[in-house]
Amino acid sequence: MKLPDLPALTPYRKNVLLIALGCVLLPWATSRAMPRVLPGSTSITLSIGVALAIAALSLNLLLGYAGQLSLGHAALLGAGAFGASVVIDSWGLPMFVGWVFGAVVGGVIALAIGLPALRLRGLYLALVTIVFGITLTSSVLRWEVFTHGSAGALLPQRLWGDSVLRSPSVYLAMTLLVLLGVWLVDINVMRTKLGRAFRMIREDEVVAQS
């Protein structure tokens, strides 16, 4: 009896399989091994480093692939972070929902800036982004109603309802999984039509417009 052929393992399926394996193995490994190797404070510091790596990957799409200079990236990250804090702290929703909401907030603000700046390039685009960054960080992000002012907001790591994540090692594993997902998106976007458009913008904006 001949067994049916297995479907070809395309790059997309490889990425899905890699994420699935990470979702299973990484939390288990970190919950078992990391607490014995890394103290909780070190895991928290590493989680912050992973979050900054995610931010760097997102900037790579604009600066690395498209060759466009943005000096207001940190303000977008701050807006997304404080948007997530409203969902988690004020509304009492799980942190996963907060992560998604924060990404939506940052994306909407970036779209609102990007549409008027479509005709700008080079230093003019950089000036628009830096003015936006200074304006947002010196006004909206200091509004204590949402951001608790310059002191920032300390958020509960709420999983669901009253269930709170208390292990810094597991939280580090979760941030690593997010980094893995963002990295896979980053390396695969160049295979799409959008990625080819990014490369064309970097090489010659006039040709890209035509």
pLDDT, tens digit (0-9, with 9 covering 90-100), for 29-43: 655 555 566 666 787
Domain ranges for the chain: 69-164, 167-197
- pLDDT on residue 17: 66
Per-residue pLDDT of 102-150, as tens digits, reads 889 888 888 887 777 666 666 677 777 788 778 877 776 667 666 666 5
b/e map of 170-200 (b: 16 or more CB within 10 Å)? bbbbbbbbebbbbebebeeeeeeeebeebee
Q: How far is CA 72 from CA 101, 136, 199, in A?
A: 20, 9, 22
Q: What is the pLDDT of residue 4?
A: 46
pLDDT at 110: 82
- Cβ atoms of 196 and 50 closer than 8 Å: no
Q: What's the confidence (pLDDT) of residue 162? A: 57
Residue 33: half-sphere exposure toward Cβ, Cα within 13 Å: 7
The answer on pLDDT for 6 being more than 50 is: no
Q: What pLDDT is attached to residue 3?
A: 41
Tell me which of 153 and 50 has the higher pLDDT: 50
Confidence at residue 62, expressed as pLDDT on a 0 to 100 scale: 78
Q: What pLDDT does 59 receive?
A: 84
Looking at the predicted structure, is the pLDDT value of residue 46 above 70? yes
- For residues 191 and 20, the model is more confident at 191
For tokens 């790059």, the residue is 11
Which phi-psi region, left, alpha or beta, contains residue 149 (left: φ > 0; alpha: ψ -120 to 50)? Answer: left
Span 182-208, average pLDDT:
76
- In order of 47, 94, 110, 146, 164, the CA distances from 75 in angstroms are 20, 24, 10, 15, 29
Cα separation, 187 vs 185, in Å, equals 6
- CA 70 to CA 59: how far, in whole Å? 8
- What sign does the dihedral 47-184-182-122 (CA atoms) show? positive
Segment 48-84, tens digit of pLDDT:
898 889 888 888 887 777 777 777 788 888 888 888 8
Instruction: Yes or no: say if 47 and 168 are a contact pair by the CB < 8 Å rule.
Output: yes
| Position 13 pLDDT exceeds 80 | no
Using CA atoms in the order 34, 18, 63, 97, what is the torsion angle rounded to 10 degrees? -70
Scanning the chain, the segments in alpha helix (DSSP H) are 11-32, 34-37, 40-59, 73-85, 95-114, 122-138, 144-147, 168-188, 193-203, 205-209
Question: Tens digit of pLDDT for each residue in 14-29?
Answer: 666 666 666 656 655 6
pTM greater than the 0.95 cutoff:
no
Question: pLDDT grade, residue 1 (50/70/90)?
Answer: very low
